[in-house]
């Protein structure tokens, strides 16, 4: 076999391999779209059942959730879930209570199927060959749909309040320090997040931000070095089997020169659920296929170099 023929055969095999990956990715995108349609249908059915309860507050919440944009859907669906969690179901007719439980179970199952599809799509999109050859094309990056759900369909939705203080820590090049971690219940789903953590009882937000920055990076900041809060984020998420209703307040601090990140102050949970860290530019955040929280960080990061108006801006 001549060298030219070998090259042709290898090129054909390579092209077939790349084509198979592209086809698989396309099927995964179709799967996530179909899974989202199923979630949307399940949520719509839940809204119909809720309105049948003839409770004005619940009906208003259901309609608000249905009319919300995809970006705001999680927030409003969680508000509806919280109201349903406080509902006295023993006072409902048995048939109505059963219908409501069935609707909630369908939402739960549809959401899990959707998130499994998103996970598979994101894992493939993150492969080097997909990124280098831009095999994802113009298809938008799929995102998880995180709403609280009961441990069992008939149980109340229990949310643990979690106020937290976070620090957008930037260097002289305008890059932000992010940690990479995962939920121990879903270790295959990696995501990036800013410095910070929960506010302890009786602790002020700014003091919590200073403490968290020191524990996670070894950096000793004075409270006056923090700018903000600059952003506020409300999110409901699950971690290690517990569902949290989080209100996150973001501060900004900058460092000069090279910061040697010292993670010796990590607690046991951080030790086991944080896998690394790195500095990110706004351009890198904009082009990455990785999951980053808050999701608008790429567009918000350059704004930190502009004049701040003194108000905390909401982010998702």
Write the pLDDT tens digit of every residue in 94-130: 888 888 888 888 898 888 888 888 888 888 888 888 8
Rounded mean pLDDT of the chain?
85
**Is the confidence at residue 132, as pLDDT, over 70?**
yes
pLDDT value for 194: 95
- 74 contact partners, CB below 8 Å, separation of at least 6: 145, 146, 147, 235, 236
- How crowded is residue 202: how many other Cβ atoms within 10 Å of its Cβ? 6
* 167-177 mean pLDDT: 91
Structural contact between residues 250 and 228, judged by C-beta atoms closer than 8 angstroms: yes
**Is the confidence at residue 88, as pLDDT, over 50?**
yes
pLDDT value for 158: 60
pLDDT value for 38: 92
* Domain assignment of residue 144, yes or no: no
CATH number of the domain that residue 291 is part of: 3.90.79.10
Total-model pTM: 0.61
**Do 175 and 284 reside in the same domain of the chain?**
yes
Top mean-pLDDT range of 17-21, 46-50, 282-286: 46-50
- Closest among 232, 245, 251 to 294, alpha carbons compared: 232
Q: Which domain holds residue 8?
A: 1-133
* 258-276 mean pLDDT: 91
**Do 124 and 214 reside in the same domain of the chain?**
no
pLDDT value for 14: 77
pLDDT value for 154: 43
pLDDT value for 134: 84
- Closest among 149, 175, 191 to 255, alpha carbons compared: 175
* Domain assignment of residue 17, yes or no: yes
For the chain, the domain total comes to: 2
Structural contact between residues 180 and 277, judged by C-beta atoms closer than 8 angstroms: yes
**Is the confidence at residue 139, as pLDDT, over 60?**
yes
pLDDT confidence band for 152 (50 / 70 / 90): very low
**Do 125 and 268 reside in the same domain of the chain?**
no
CA distance 116 to 114: 5
**Do 176 and 287 reside in the same domain of the chain?**
yes
pLDDT value for 150: 56
**Is the confidence at residue 308, as pLDDT, over 60?**
no
**Do 121 and 170 reside in the same domain of the chain?**
no
């Amino acid at each position: 076999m001549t060298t030219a023929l070998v090259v042709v055969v290898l090129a054909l095999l390579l092209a077939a391999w790349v084509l198979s990956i592209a086809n698989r990715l396309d099927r995964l995108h179709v799967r996530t779209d179909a899974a989202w349609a199923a979630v949307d249908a399940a949520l719509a059915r839940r809204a119909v059942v809720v309105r049948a309860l003839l409770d004005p507050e619940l009906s208003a919440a259901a309609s608000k959730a249905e009319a919300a944009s995809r970006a705001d859907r999680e927030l409003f669906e969680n508000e509806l879930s919280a109201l349903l969690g406080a509902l006295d179901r023993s006072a409902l007719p048995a048939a109505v209570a059963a219908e409501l439980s069935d609707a909630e179970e369908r939402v739960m199952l549809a959401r899990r199927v959707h998130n499994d599809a998103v996970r598979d799509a994101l894992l493939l999109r993150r492969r080097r060959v997909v990124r280098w050859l831009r095999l994802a094309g113009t298809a938008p990056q799929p995102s998880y749909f995180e709403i609280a759900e009961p441990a069992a369909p008939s149980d109340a939705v229990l949310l643990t309040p979690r106020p937290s203080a976070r620090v957008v820590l930037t260097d002289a090049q305008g890059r932000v320090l992010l940690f990479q971690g995962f939920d121990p219940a879903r270790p295959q789903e990696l995501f990036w997040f800013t410095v910070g953590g929960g506010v302890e009882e009786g602790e002020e937000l700014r003091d919590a931000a200073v403490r968290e920055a020191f524990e996670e990076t070894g950096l000793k900041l004075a409270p006056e070095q923090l700018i903000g809060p600059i952003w506020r984020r409300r999110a409901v998420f699950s971690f290690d089997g517990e569902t949290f209703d989080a209100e996150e307040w973001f501060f900004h601090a900058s460092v000069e020169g090279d910061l040697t990140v010292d993670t010796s102050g990590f607690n046991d949970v951080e030790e086991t659920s944080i896998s690394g860290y790195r500095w990110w530019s706004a351009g890198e955040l904009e082009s990455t296929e990785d999951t980053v929280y808050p999701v608008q960080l790429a567009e918000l990061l350059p704004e930190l170099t502009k004049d701040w108006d003194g108000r905390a801006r909401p982010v998702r």
